Amino acid sequence: MYHIKIRTLYFIALIGLASFAACSSDPKNAEKNEAVKEETKEESNALELTSEQMETVGITIGNIEQKNLDAVVKANGQLAVPPQNKADVSILSGGIITRINVLEGQQVRKGQVLATINNQDLIKIQQDYLASKNSFVYVQAEYERQKQLQAADAGTGKSFQSAQATYNAEKSRLTAYESQLRQLGVPPSSIAGEKIISQFPVLSPINGTVGQITANTGAFVQPGTSIMEVVDNSKIHCDLTVFEKDLMAVKVGQKVSFQLTNQENQLISGRINGINKSFENESKGVIVHAVIDNAKNKNLIPGMYVTALISTGSKLMSALPVDAIVRSEGKQYIFVVAENDKKDDAKTFNFIRAEVKTGVSEQGYVQVIPIEELSAKARVVTKGAFYLQSKASGGGEEE
């Protein structure tokens, strides 16, 4: 009889254990347990401070405000110069370079001699020019004589017409030779008698700075070949890529703040002066042109990469003082007073860290976008958040 009772009690105990295991494996119970764990974990991460501690370290509490901040569109791009401010120095007639008069980086003015080319065709052009010039003297005299006879009714109309035709043809030929000489940089007035030259100068087409020189002294250069470039940086501007989602907010005349990525984040200002009307390749981006204020004194070089903020106008947005934002492990946070906490006149406050994203910053305020929705009446730390962050990471244990 005694053994039967023991067996009965053992059986009841087994049934109880099985029922407990079944309840533990229930998904609903598991969710409840996880929720309890999360709530316990959140409570354990809360920071508790007294009113005296907050006053000592300068922590203040307030609400997320609605501020009119200057909305911006962020864009990337690089500096460039207009086509009319960048010139390739080419030659019209091939020849051997006998002299290069400038160095890369040197400032030059329009019409300055950059190099000298030895060209044999130049000799023939001068010979033809001198022959045409001498012939024109005779043709012109004959034309004037026939013109006078025609006026006095002493000559024939046929002779006058022949002299006139010859005069016009020789004059056109002479003008063509003069034009060829001017294109080669040789003034026709400098050629007289037996004074014939075999070299012509290469002149700078614009004011600017000499860029890369691609030829050496003694090299033979084909016609139309560029031997160097001249760049005028006084009209440098920025070409920005604005994507389709932001394009409607960008207008001509808007202010732009540029940050030079490779120049110790130097800031410069400018304004939008042109917007392309077609997309660039497959990027779904449109090139926006912006002029730079006082570009001459900025030591800017075409090709520099920039990050730009285009001001698109004021907009009402949620904002907090800059001191309310802390950063940790690449994320940004604010500290929120626990909703079940006491009022401001209570002796203790509990703070919970909430992740946010930030936007534009202006006049000491920064736009905040909470990752998880906060109550409209949520109270947050507006000053002294750095102390709470230090305490949360272990730096304020002794305090």
Domain with CATH 2.40.30.170 in the chain: 73-83+232-312
Q: Which fold has domain 86-118+198-231?
A: OB fold (Dihydrolipoamide Acetyltransferase, E2P) (2.40.50)
* Residue-wise pLDDT tens digits, 65-113: 888 877 788 889 999 998 899 999 988 888 899 999 999 999 999 999 9
Domain with CATH 2.40.50.100 in the chain: 86-118+198-231
List the CATH code of the domain at 121-196.
1.10.287
Domain with CATH 2.40.420.20 in the chain: 47-71+316-392
Domain with CATH 1.10.287 in the chain: 121-196
Residue 41: C-alpha distances to residues 3, 49, 145 (Å): 49, 18, 116
* Residue-wise pLDDT tens digits, 180-239: 888 887 888 777 666 778 888 889 999 999 998 998 999 998 888 899 999 998 888 999
Residue 103: C-alpha distances to residues 108, 230, 231, 307 (Å): 10, 11, 13, 32
122 phi/psi in degrees, rounded to 5: -60, -35
- What pLDDT does 367 receive? 84
Q: Catalogue the long-range contacts made by 369-374 (C-beta closer than 8 Å, 24 or more residues apart).
A: 369/318, 370/334, 374/64, 374/336
Say yes or no to pLDDT of 343 above 80.
no
Predicted confidence band of residue 24 (pLDDT cuts 50, 70, 90) = very low
Provide the CB-side half-sphere exposure for 6 (13 A, CA): 3
SS3 sequence, 274-340? EECCCCECCCCEEEEEEEECCHHHCCCCCCCEEEEEEEEEEEEEEEEEHHHCEEECCEEEEEEECCC
Say yes or no to pLDDT of 17 above 60.
no
10 Å CB burial of residue 379 (0-12, 13-18, 19+) is: buried
Predicted confidence band of residue 18 (pLDDT cuts 50, 70, 90) = very low
Predicted confidence band of residue 278 (pLDDT cuts 50, 70, 90) = confident
Closest CA to 313 of 150, 34, 72: 72
Euclidean distance between the first and final Cα of the chain, in Å?
69
List the CATH code of the domain at 73-83+232-312.
2.40.30.170
Per-residue tokens: 58: 């300068």
Q: Which fold has domain 47-71+316-392?
A: 2.40.420
